[in-house]
Every structure is written in structure tokens, then in C-alpha cells.
Structure 1
Amino acid sequence: MNPREASVRWLAADGFHSLAYVAWGAPGPRPPIICLHGLTRTGRDFDRLAAALAARGRFVVCPDMPGRGRSEWLANPMLYGVPTYIAACSHLLAALGAETVDWVGTSMGGLIGLAIAALPGQPIRRLVLNDVGPFLPAPALARIRAYVGADPAFADETALEAHLRRVHAGFGPMTEEDWRHLAATSARRVPDGTIRLHYDPAIAAPMPEVAQDIDLWAMWEGISIPILVLRGELSDLLLPETAERMAARPGVALHTVPGVGHVPALVDDDQIGRVAAFLDA
């Protein structure tokens, strides 16, 4: 099964932009599933998961957030933030005609899902949070900030893949095919012949130079939908105590993925099976 590429126009504070996405399967009686990627990633990270969900009869949509993948970059980098991303997602849901959706969010994609789920009249039926929660510790944010603003150039795919293996070592065990796929969907070739990462380095602009803890527990308390939390055993972003506090709330299930950091890649059968079973309920 191959994904279909499409896009929608959406309105930001500085005008209209194009938001790209890939779609798997066909619309049906069940809610669409939105799969939203991490900070520097794209919707193609979910290819393995989306194909499996589509094979179960689900319609799956995996957008590239503004400044990533095939979506337009923003002229004003200070607009790169959750309010802008929510606006883009709102336009996407309207274009899909979706009043209710299921949501799988990895890292930043999970934060966006949390923020939407806390709003009045929100559309999310069931939410999967992949290695993210309502408390983000400063050391992990500093680690992420250190590489996000860089704009490395690679001479070839081998150098690109080596970089991705280093930066995303927390993804855990992946096959050689998985790494090749990640490299193929993570970069673009520019006119000078080099390979660059598939995101605008300016997405780092709104991030503070000196990281501080982010506490969203008040927002968390206003969310009542069923939630599956996946936590990498070695994660520095979703701490054990944060995950345990989340799991203490009724309707929240927690699964710790052994031997994995930030974030579980959602490419192995066990992770995919857990997500699929939760969304099938």
C-alpha cells in the first residue's frame, strides 16, 4: 500500500500557506487517524504504522507541520509554535470534513494533541502520546535545542544516515531498512549538490537559549479522553515520575518500551500492535 500525497491551504498570522500531508487508506465509518511527528521530523516517520492501520480499515493522515517536509516554510520564524500548528491542523481537519479524529502524536506532535484536547469542543476521541507528557525537563529541552538550530550539509546519503543514527539514537533498535527509509524521508538535495535536512533551521528561533522546565499539569487536568502513553525506558524527556503521575489518572494506560530512549520509533510489531489495539477500541 502506497501513500497519497496532497496538501491544503491554511491561514497563519502572516497569510496563507500550503500544508502537505500523506494519506493512507480510504475514509470510512470510523474517525480518521491523525499522526503528527516530532519537532524536526515529517509525516513520513509514520509510514510503517500508517500502512498497518490502513490495512485494518482505518483512514490515516500524516501531515508535515509548517517548516517541515513538503510544507511551506514561514517567513516569520517566531510563528513556529503550538498556536500556529493548531491553526494548521484545524484547517486540515476542516478540509477532511472530520468532526472527530483519533490522534497519534510523537513528542511535539503529542504536545499539539494535548493542547487541542484541552480546548472546548475539541475533536479528539482517543489520544496516543509517544514519549511526551505535561512536564518537560530543562536538560532534555537543552539537548534538543542544541541540534535543532543547526543546518548541516551532507555530501551523500551515507553521511546523512550517520548523522541521523547519532542524533536519533534514542529511537532504539531499528533495521537497516528502517534507517535507510528515515534518511530517504529526512532530507532534500539543494542546488549546490549537497543534502540538507528536510526542515527550516529557523524552527529553533522561538526556543529560549537557556532551557527551563515546562509545566503543563494544569492543562493536563482538563483532559478527560482515553490516552495511551508510550514511554521509552531510557527517555530523558518523559521522566518515569511524570509517566507514573499521568497513568494515575483514570482512562490513561502506560506502556514502557524497553531499551529505547526518546522516542520509540513506532516501527516494530509490538509498538504498532499496541497503538492499533488502543485505537480500535
Structure 2
Amino acid sequence: MCASASGTHRMAYWEWGDPDNDQVVMCVHGLTRTGRDFDHLAQPLAARYRVIAPDVVGRGRSDWLVDPAAYAIPQYVADMLVLLARLRPARLDWVGTSMGGLIALGLHGAQAMSALLRPARPGPALDAPMELPLGRVVLNDVGPALNLSGLQRISDYVGQAVIFDTFAQAVDYVRSVSAPFGDHSLADWQDISRHVFVEHDGKWQRHYDLRLSQAFARQADVDLDAAQALLWGAYESLPESVLILRGEHSDLLSVQAAHEMLRRNPHAQLVEVANVGHAPMLRSADQIDHIDHFLAG
């Protein structure tokens, strides 16, 4: 149960591994996806971690917000803090695809900012530390500087109210708009589509709140320089190693931005995924192995 300015909402999450394991890896999906994107990645990670993959509010099994203006990183960060309070991890590593990576930077930045600005108070205080520093972070085709043309491409389809008579038609649609995900078999495309389209009254429709597009369009009008400065500050101060995965043909994370990320954080490393755009789906053995080995140190 989470809260926004308009009331409460529930956030669903999927998990793998020992529920008593306090070593947690949070896997957070992209703008229109769900936590089930991490089904394949979770299998090897569950041997070491309690793997948690939320459906960010407005997607999948989670509730929709009353006010669509709240579909933004600050709300998502607040929801993650509620989930982390429930999980109580001793260590928190993070795998974030696109929006999921921005949520990680927002979470780290919010904690750093509050620690810096919080005034001293007299008298007794809570003994337990309020902050939980991020450990290792995987940023899947995302960073503090994003390509505007890639954002526009996503904006063009995110709010389309497409409805199909059959699941096969929905799969064909996902395959067309998600071609940058790379080459996949028909069975893979069916699996990729299964949790982002849902059957309702005999029709197949998107399994997310179409009003996401309203908030997405409004965020394009914010002061991008100021927003990027905050994201860069959070990225540069991440306390442990960072793995940047970049799709070779990504239109969201440019080559120049990825190399700037390497320059501005000495703990970062870059892996480019061949024949993929935005974003690697973390389903193939090579993509999974990169993350598994990185998180294992």
C-alpha cells in the first residue's frame, strides 16, 4: 500500500529466491513494461539474492493513480521506499531498465539531498539509519543524459489506445513498435507481449494506464538542464560499481553519453549489446551473464 497526494494505491511485485534473504536485488522495468520482464534474469540471481521486480504503479497488476500528473519519478521513488521498508534489506543492489534506472538515480539523489539538507534537531531521535545506500547498480540503456529523438519515438506510441481481436494481433503490434528489442523467436515475442496486453471483454488491450502519456508529455516540457544536473549529481555519487548496458543501435542512450558516464564515474564499466536498440530485454544468455558476473563481483 502506497500513497500519493490523491490517496492510496497498491503496488504489486514479483519475487524469487529465499524470502528470508536480506541480500536484495531490485529489478525495475521500463516505461510501459512490467516486472515480469525479469523472469529470465531472476533465475540465476535467485541463488544469491531475494529478487524483487515491482510493477510500477499504473502498469501490470498495480493500481492506477487517481491523478495522472503523479506518474513521474518522485512518485515512483516514494513507492519504492515503501516497498523497501517492507523488505528491510541489509544490502540493496539494483537492475534498472530505462525508467527503472532513472528511479534508481532518483532514489539515490533523494537520499543524498535529504542527508545534506536535513536540519539538526535537539533531543532524542530515531536510532536506526534512515538511508539505505545503493550497492551495485546496472543501468540498462539509460543515463543522466537522454536523446530527445528517442524520447519522441516512445512518446509517439505510449498513449495509443490500440485494441485487438486476438492475442496474435497484439503480438504483431508489440513486435512492430518494439523492433529495437532485437531479434527474438515468435515464442519470445509472445512472452514479451503476454504481460503488457490483457484480455478484457473478448478484446486485447494494453495492460497499463494510457494516461501515462499525459505525464510523459508534460515532463518533456520541464527544465531538462536542471533535471539532467540532478541526475548527473546522483550518478556521479553512486557509492559502488556501475554497469552500463547500451544497445548498439540505441536511440535513447547515445555513444557520447555512455562515454561521458564512464568519464564522470570511475567505478563505471560499459558493455555494448550488439544488434539491439533500446533496450536490451535481458533474456539472452550473454546479456544475463554480464549482469550475473557484475553483481557477483
Q: Indicate the residue corresponding to 2:274 in structure 1.
A: 258
**Which of 8, 17, 36 does residue 25 from structure 1 map onto?**
17
* 1:129 matches 2:145: no
RMSD of aligned residue pairs (Cα, Å): 1.7
* 1:224 matches 2:239: yes
In 1, Cα distance between the equivalents of 2:132 and 2:85?
13
Q: Which runs of 4+ in 1 moved over 3 A?
A: 27-30, 209-214
Q: Is the 8 A contact 1:142 1:210 kept in 2?
A: no
Q: Is the 8 A contact 2:247 2:280 kept in 1?
A: yes
User: What is the CA-CA distance between 1:217 and the residue it aligns to?
Assistant: 2.6
* 1:156 matches 2:135: no
Structure 2 length-normalised TM: 0.87
Q: Is the 8 A contact 1:99 1:123 kept in 2?
A: no
Letter in 2 for 1:254: L
In 2, Cα distance between the equivalents of 1:167 and 1:176?
15
Q: Is the 8 A contact 1:19 1:64 kept in 2?
A: yes
Over 3 Å counting, the alpha-carbon distance change for 1:106 and 1:17 in structure 2 is same
Pairwise mapping of residues 103-182 of structure 1 onto structure 2 (< 5 A)? 103-118=94-109, 119-120=111-112, 121-182=131-192
Over 3 Å counting, the alpha-carbon distance change for 1:29 and 1:17 in structure 2 is closer
Over 3 Å counting, the alpha-carbon distance change for 1:218 and 1:229 in structure 2 is same
* 1:198 matches 2:213: no
Letter in 2 for 1:251: H
Q: Indicate the residue corresponding to 2:74 in structure 1.
A: 83
State, as a whole percentage, how many aligned pairs show the same letter.
Answer: 41
Q: Which moved more, 1:79-88 or 1:222-231?
A: 222-231
C-alpha distance after superposition, 1:6-40 (max 9, x if no partner): xxx11222222110011111135562111000000
C-alpha distance after superposition, 1:34-92 (max 9, x if no partner): 100000000001101112211x3321011000000000001110010001001111111
Q: Is the 8 A contact 1:153 1:195 kept in 2?
A: yes
User: What is the CA-CA distance between 1:114 and the residue it aligns to?
Assistant: 1.3
Q: Indicate the residue corresponding to 2:260 in structure 1.
A: 245
SS of the residue 1:166 aligns to = helix
Q: Indicate the residue corresponding to 1:269 in structure 2.
A: 285
Q: Indicate the residue corresponding to 1:5 in structure 2.
A: none
**Which of 199, 208, 226 does residue 217 from structure 2 map onto?**
208
Letter in 2 for 1:72: D
SS of the residue 1:205 aligns to = helix
Letter in 2 for 1:166: S
Letter in 2 for 1:243: A
Which protein has the larger Cα radius of gyration, Structure 1 or Structure 2? Answer: 2
Structure 1 length-normalised TM: 0.91
User: What is the CA-CA distance between 1:96 and the residue it aligns to?
Assistant: 1.0
In 1, Cα distance between the equivalents of 2:35 and 2:145?
24
SS of the residue 1:60 aligns to = strand
- Segments of structure 2 that go 5 or more residues without pairing to the other structure are 113-130
SS of the residue 2:244 aligns to = strand
In 1, Cα distance between the equivalents of 2:188 and 2:218?
33
In 2, Cα distance between the equivalents of 1:219 and 1:279?
20
In 2, Cα distance between the equivalents of 1:127 and 1:161?
31
C-alpha distance after superposition, 1:94-134 (max 9, x if no partner): 11122431100000001101111223234311100000001
Structure number with higher helix proportion: 2
User: What is the CA-CA distance between 1:222 and the residue it aligns to?
Assistant: 3.2
Pairwise mapping of residues 49-68 of structure 1 onto structure 2 (< 5 A)? 49-54=41-46, 56-68=47-59
Letter in 1 for 2:206: L
Q: Indicate the residue corresponding to 1:3 in structure 2.
A: none
Letter in 1 for 2:8: F
